[in-house]
Chain A
């Protein structure tokens, strides 16, 4: 709502701020990285020494390593491969597992994660997707699952036909938050029900994951988007659908955009039940 009280810094943000203010620029820290030369190749660990500056993040550390790819033991190696884009936590590209937890690497500030000389940070690729090389994984399945739930508004075409449906500010607020999903994959990395599936042929029956379920909710809320509501609920009722959620609730805890994913799953679960019952009696 537009009248909510201003959010001040949370306890976690305050302790992060304290770590930041105690961190000294110019200190050396260690970055330990799980590396892999390509699909089917073995993994190995390499550790690098990186000198920090004000505002250092994982990206600036990886850039430093690329410019001087030598490990802490003086071993010459190759630049680390990773996926990145906007570096403002709005594109979702640079997601990786940092100290055991999936998050965007651009917003991971070194002063928070390694405030003292010699502190170490561990980087791994996400485990639920096939590794392309080093920290870069293939997340095609995330986008494929958006097709399964027809995550779009079926407009007639691009010809000028006037405005779209009017919408209350309350509904806009709800849709806006759902619509900030970057398809980053954090919710999938954290989900016990979502597992790596290297065979694209099996994607259509494997678990959709929280992000796609939430997108189905987003488009079912839109006046024109509702035209495909039945087809979306069919997809959610089928194999790999909403009933495969094990209710671990990890997704909502790791979502960088604070999307109410468990609310979406519950809402879609109810909608699927109603849809199935209605369909049963209309046969």
Chain B
């Protein structure tokens, strides 16, 4: 084993959510110093918003016939066979170990009467395999990791750079050797050397204007890597969560755990029924998910629940009170269940004003998660059957155990590295694991798994890869200075357009450009997509890009200029939006969250492949390439979740219209 000096090789982690914190803990523990960058104090990262729980096979479900292998199989099926399969297998196998570690860190997981960890049902599974802390599991998990990082910080092994914004990766001789970042208070721009850089910067919900994501989730950091030459996989795969509450500033998630604990989705059988939900008798309610999916009922995967809700409202005109909303009903559940969901019930009470214990909640789908992300690779593990197996039959024996290294080879330097050596992507910002649709309570798992499992790969790269002979400390300063200058010039250009009070013209208002982008993306590229509409949206992006070149910044301050930061991210979001639209336009099929009304079925022959976006800076354009995936473990099957035809029972929504 090579020993390295205490300070001569370092790792930069960008983003302090679950993935970034888990990576920091793992890398610091291995003796490599970590510089941790975040736009917010890491404890306030977007991971706090995760509510429902974290999936893992457990002893109770195991004795009912569940296994790590079935968790893997569910995740592949749930993702509509788009994910590379080996990494998903490794993640599912690690899941129980991750729960144990979090438990040791002090996460207050809910307990049974005997003091064991309690479990709840979640979408896409017939087994209870979701561990939870009330309805604020993400908050509790990130706090546990935040505390461990604080411990390393107190010992001098992690250095935090909070309120620093990542601007650009420093890539020299084809590998990443550091970053350039900006202090959001002093506005100082400077470079940082790092022998490896881990991007753990989450999703890009703000591309759609309103989403369930935090205000920092512009996807700006990922977009900047993309512009610097990092590939972006499956950009079109965006999860629209079925149950959110609309708001003036954002949409707020009502966790899937509400349905996992017995919540029911319905609309009045009589369209436009003016009564309050609680006053509508049972036989006048249409529980459309339960009728259409007798096995999974309200716990079908998110893409399916979202499309059904959307269709009931938009196509059938059966939304509650004639608006785009359906009921999520918890009023029949006992007080003990309400107590377990208190975190989200409080959110509903605070922001809507009704008490969900007595009145059904009114919800509608909203953009929630990016399955797509920076393209990453991996080294396959030891499990390589002669041919892919059929879908696993629930309850039957698993073909393999859950030993380490069956899915991905532990410690291999390329696990979750992008196409740029030394530049890794962990958590929501990569495109691995979730394919075309993420199962609920798998996100927290994938973030922490990346940090812990692939953190070791980063350590090995630093110790035994190129940095072994050529540490970043020896790279010429010019490489860093050039990127600092590039970013200073961008800032100078933006500042030169500043007009306090704004120009008064919508045309050149960066906030208006951002809003129009969000509106257009929500209309063209969410639940239902169509080739012509996507082309129209690309036209709109071109218009917005042109206006962006002529904008006026609203603030010329050289101290804590938030307008500058926002306006810069609008430019990045425009490029990301183009990648999303082009990915959606190329994928002439329907798969998982990507539903094309002009190509309604899945086409495995042509499209069981990743769409990989590449950026050409000379023409400022995005191109899409199809890349083969690793599907050597499970053979694709039709993904129906046992849907039945309920047209006989379905209420007549609108008076029949004569066809032309």
Contacts and interface: CB of A to CB of B under 8 A. Distances in A.
Given A85-B214, A160-B97, A133 B559 contact: yes
Interface residues of A, number: 83
Contacts of B247: 55, 57, 60, 87
Interface string B491-506: 0000000011110000
Contact of B452 (A37, A91, A158): A158
A70 interface: yes
A88 B26 contact: no
A160 B112 CA distance: 23
Given A133-B560, A163-B104, A67 B48 contact: no
A5 interface: yes
Contacts of A75: 501
A2 B106 contact: no
A136 B136 CA distance: 26
A267 interface: no
Interface in B334-369: 335-336, 338-340, 343, 347, 349-351, 353, 355, 357-358
A274 B644 CA distance: 67
A91 B347 contact: no
A79 B554 contact: yes
Interface in A27-52: 37-38
A168 B115 contact: yes
B590 to A, nearest CB: 32
Contacts of A13: 349
Interface string A135-179: 010010001001100111111011011111011110010011001
Contact of A164 (B106, B500, B556): B106
B249 A79 contact: no
Nearest to A38: B559
A59 interface: yes
A273 interface: no
Contacts of A56: 248
Interface string A80-114: 01001111111111000000000000110100000
Nearest to B510: A67
B338 A6 contact: yes
Contacts of B339: 1-2, 4
Interface string B88-126: 000000000101110111101111111111000000000
A18 B216 CA distance: 34
A78 interface: yes
A66 interface: yes
B276 interface: no
B44 interface: yes
Contact of B501 (A77, A106, A158, A180): A77
Contact of A67 (B99, B249, B499, B511): B511
B24 to A, nearest CB: 11
Contacts of A92: 43-44
Contacts of A86: 44, 46, 48-49, 214
Contacts of A17: 353
B154 interface: yes
A78 B115 CA distance: 55
Contacts of A89: 347, 350
A37, A88, A107, A222 — which one has the most chain B CB atoms within 10 A of its CB? A88
A78, A89, A93, A161 — which one has the most chain B CB atoms within 10 A of its CB? A78
B280 interface: no
Contact of A60 (B29, B46, B249, B452): B249
A117 B201 CA distance: 42
A56 to B, nearest CB: 5
Nearest to A156: B104
B509 A67 contact: yes
B308 interface: no
Given A55-B248, A147-B153, A69 B108 contact: no
Contact of A93 (B44, B340, B512): B44
Contacts of A266: none
Contact of A162 (B43, B100, B338, B501): B100
A167 B335 contact: no
Contacts of A168: 111, 115
A164 B108 contact: no
Contact of A160 (B100, B151, B556): B100
Q: State the majority secondary structure of interface residues on A.
A: loop
B46, B246, B247, B336 — which one has the most chain A CB atoms within 10 A of its CB? B247
Given A152-B147, A175-B108, A69 B501 contact: yes
Contacts of B252: 87-88
Nearest to A80: B562
A66 B554 contact: yes
A173 to B, nearest CB: 8
B338, B355, B501 — which one has the most chain A CB atoms within 10 A of its CB? B501
A94 to B, nearest CB: 9
Contacts of A121: none
A4 B335 contact: yes
A224 B151 CA distance: 15
A165 B555 CA distance: 53
A247 interface: no
A223 B43 CA distance: 23
B357 A87 contact: no
B106, B148, B353 — which one has the most chain A CB atoms within 10 A of its CB? B106
B41 interface: yes
A224 B104 contact: yes
A77 B104 contact: no
Contact of A57 (B111, B248, B357): B248
B106 A169 contact: no
A93 B216 CA distance: 12
Contact of B110 (A79, A161, A172): A172
A59 B355 CA distance: 23
Contacts of B554: 66, 69, 78-79
B372 interface: no
B104 A153 contact: yes
B289 interface: no
Contacts of B46: 85-86, 91
A5 B562 contact: no
B345 to A, nearest CB: 9
B100 A163 contact: yes
A253 interface: no
Contact of A167 (B115, B250, B253): B115
Contacts of A87: 214-215, 247, 249-250, 252
A21 B501 CA distance: 34
B111 to A, nearest CB: 4
A20 interface: yes
Given A153-B104, A176-B133, A90 B49 contact: yes
Contact of A78 (B45, B358, B557): B557
Given A2-B336, A152-B148, 7 more contacts: A76-B501, A85-B214, A86-B44, A86-B46, A143-B150, A151-B147, A164-B105
21 contacts: A7-B357, A38-B559, A55-B246, A56-B248, A66-B554, A67-B511, A86-B44, A86-B46, A88-B49, A90-B343, A91-B45, A92-B44, A106-B249, A132-B185, A147-B153, A147-B154, A152-B150, A153-B105, A179-B108, A182-B44, A224-B104
Interface of B: 25-26, 29, 40-41, 43-46, 48-49, 97, 99-101, 103-106, 108-117, 133-134, 136, 139-140, 143-144, 147-148, 150-151, 153-154, 185, 214-216, 246-250, 252-253, 335-336, 338-340, 343, 347, 349-351, 353, 355, 357-358, 452, 499-502, 509, 511-512, 515, 554-557, 559-560, 562-563, 566
